[in-house]
Chains A and B, each alone.
Chain A
């Protein structure tokens, strides 16, 4: 016991000394490895299926299903040259970028007004914007479809660019409010005394300091728009206007015959851009996810 206590004193990370290595392996490493395997397996399966030729795909007795004996690019070639997939990628990209830009613009202004301009009712407006985040798309899509149709933007990119901000703005505003609050107010007061206008303060002082927040909000908004499904399903109808998630699900599934190879290739190629994008900004992503919850 005394020995344990002395090591504990040397060890600053708390009570790690209470755990022996075999115990750690059983209680920590094994479950953790299992979690990682299960969470990643569908992606592995997606990848393996993408590069399998058809005779391997449906023949488990001669080929180990977990491995590929003769990888092929046939499924990807079919996807890129025989379907509208490249067009869907382009649509999704355009919509995600425009919706994100629009939302960030509106959110920066709103968040700055709520946290810094201190007008009457700022708290209430902030709360209302947060409540807007709690309104789920699945109860809005029917009336929105009517609205979109009435505005004459049904089946165009605009239908999604204008409706995605309904869930992006509340999220981004809330996130940016947190960032703006963390910037010392004294900096802005100094600028005010030096004769800067409010807009100059926002542009030259607050925004440069809030860049990490802007990046977090931006990548989060981008992924949310990339992944959105129900609005895209309800507001688009022609094949060449579809986004990747809708296109893969509605156009690649032909009747009762499922071409799993090209379906999985579509899923893999549609997931890769967000996954790569995410891998560059993991820290921002995690901080925006947890930051928004903690606020």
Chain B
């Protein structure tokens, strides 16, 4: 009796074990948690968002299909076009500055300098710390009455007195540049540390060979460093463009789109229209309008720089 139960139990657990050793069953089982979460909270909302752009959904009321009405009203909306301009301007200028300075920092760190590990750790801090909290520090630094930059300028003698302090966040162009500086400050570490990892894989013998062939410092950089760095540069650039273009936190924390809606990025405008404004349909339409830009920017930076690898049908593994 007891033997029979034991055998049946063993047979049962053996068949379970066999089932779990079946590759197909196990693959499905293993992929289930990740795919469930991604399909439910990523793919579905992505589709829902595009759909919502064609409805007049408001908070507390599901919308009905209204065709292109949201897009038509956005087309005549100056604030929307200004936010598109701001987003493109912000992305282009900040990305160029981040990569210029980031590459410079990476090249500096690639020298044999004392305390290199410590410096590298410290340099990455702006990237680690919550963006909103460092943005608050920038807000305080840019303060129109007690900002430290204004005070320093006064000490140097560039600004006469408190009446002539630079209003960093109160004038549209000042505010745009201030936001870009904060974004560059936060973005440099990521670019620098990634590029440094790329630089460290370049063999010093390549530089020696180039030097023996008579290449000067600039030529060594141009014909050895840059081509060797290209693959990693393409990936870092793609990520950087993507995250700068969709940035929300810095602008929301420092200016909230002000003064007078002149510094909105598309993401902050979508938020303002959808959540405090209650117009979910139009917010979703603004978000959806970002997608073509994103795809374009991603393809451009990725394929533009990785041309060689791509043309050879390089391994995408």
B113→A15 contact, CB < 8 A: no
B249→A143 contact, CB < 8 A: no
- Which residue of chain B lies nearest to A118 when distances are taken between CB atoms in the complex? B23
- In the complex, whether A21 has a CB less than 8 A from a CB of chain B is no
B45→A227 contact, CB < 8 A: no
- In the complex, whether B156 has a CB less than 8 A from a CB of chain A is no
B275→A234 contact, CB < 8 A: yes
Most buried by B among A132, A163, A246, A267: A267
* From B32, B108, B204, B283, contact of A28 by CB (8 A): B108
- In the complex, whether A29 has a CB less than 8 A from a CB of chain B is yes
Instruction: Report the Cα distance A165→B111, complex, angstroms.
Output: 38
- The size bracket of the interface on A is 35 or more
* In the complex, chain A residues 18-62 whose Cβ is within 8 Å of any chain B Cβ: 18, 24, 28-29, 31-32, 35-36, 38-40, 42-43, 45-46, 49, 57-58, 60
Instruction: Report the Cα distance A14→B207, complex, angstroms.
Output: 8
* In the complex, chain A residues 130-178 whose Cβ is within 8 Å of any chain B Cβ: 132, 134-147, 162-163, 165-166, 169-170, 173
- In the complex, whether A270 has a CB less than 8 A from a CB of chain B is yes
- In the complex, whether B104 has a CB less than 8 A from a CB of chain A is yes
B49→A140 contact, CB < 8 A: yes
B113→A29 contact, CB < 8 A: yes
User: Using Cβ atoms and an 8 Å threshold, which residues of chain B touch A223?
Assistant: 128
Instruction: Report the Cα distance A233→B270, complex, angstroms.
Output: 13
User: Using Cβ atoms and an 8 Å threshold, which residues of chain A touch B29?
Assistant: 109
- In the complex, whether B248 has a CB less than 8 A from a CB of chain A is yes
Instruction: Report the Cα distance A196→B43, complex, angstroms.
Output: 37
- How many cross-chain pairs have Cβ atoms below 8 Å apart between A and B? 286
User: Using Cβ atoms and an 8 Å threshold, which residues of chain B touch A282?
Assistant: 117, 120-121, 124
Instruction: Report the Cα distance A267→B24, complex, angstroms.
Output: 49
Instruction: Report the Cα distance A3→B298, complex, angstroms.
Output: 51
With A39-B122, A146-B280 as known contacts, state yes or no: A135 contacts B137, CB within 8 Å: no
- In the complex, whether B168 has a CB less than 8 A from a CB of chain A is no
With A230-B248, A230-B249, A244-B130 as known contacts, state yes or no: A139 contacts B290, CB within 8 Å: yes
- In the complex, whether A274 has a CB less than 8 A from a CB of chain B is yes
User: Using Cβ atoms and an 8 Å threshold, which residues of chain B touch A263?
Assistant: 136, 140
Encoded as 1 (CB less than 8 Å from any B CB) or 0, chain A from 91 to 109 comes to 0000000000010011101
* In the complex, chain A residues 168-210 whose Cβ is within 8 Å of any chain B Cβ: 169-170, 173, 197-199
Instruction: Report the Cα distance A105→B31, complex, angstroms.
Output: 11
* From A57, A165, A173, A278, contact of B146 by CB (8 A): A57
- Which residue of chain A lies nearest to B146 when distances are taken between CB atoms in the complex? A58
Encoded as 1 (CB less than 8 Å from any B CB) or 0, chain A from 263 to 288 comes to 11011001100110011001001100
- Which residue of chain B lies nearest to A41 when distances are taken between CB atoms in the complex? B141
- In the complex, whether B92 has a CB less than 8 A from a CB of chain A is no
CB distance from A102 to the nearest CB of B (A): 8
- In the complex, whether B185 has a CB less than 8 A from a CB of chain A is yes
A138→B34 contact, CB < 8 A: no
Instruction: Report the Cα distance A45→B21, complex, angstroms.
Output: 58
- In the complex, whether A7 has a CB less than 8 A from a CB of chain B is no
User: Using Cβ atoms and an 8 Å threshold, which residues of chain B touch A271?
Assistant: 129-130, 133-134
Most buried by B among A105, A123, A282: A282
- Which residue of chain B lies nearest to A58 when distances are taken between CB atoms in the complex? B146
With A32-B113, A165-B41, A245-B132 as known contacts, state yes or no: A113 contacts B31, CB within 8 Å: yes
* From A127, A226, A290, contact of B316 by CB (8 A): A127
Instruction: Report the Cα distance A173→B35, complex, angstroms.
Output: 11
User: Using Cβ atoms and an 8 Å threshold, which residues of chain B touch A136?
Assistant: 242-243, 245-246, 294
Most buried by A among B45, B151, B194, B207: B45
A275→B130 contact, CB < 8 A: no
- In the complex, whether A119 has a CB less than 8 A from a CB of chain B is yes
B130→A260 contact, CB < 8 A: no
Q: A15-B204, A102-B37, A275-B128 are in contact. List 6 more A-B contacts (CB 8 A).
A: A39-B188, A117-B30, A123-B317, A138-B270, A141-B271, A166-B37
Report 8 cross-chain contacts, Cβ distance below 8 Å, ordered by A residue. Answer: A39-B125, A113-B27, A117-B27, A143-B44, A147-B48, A165-B41, A198-B21, A229-B252
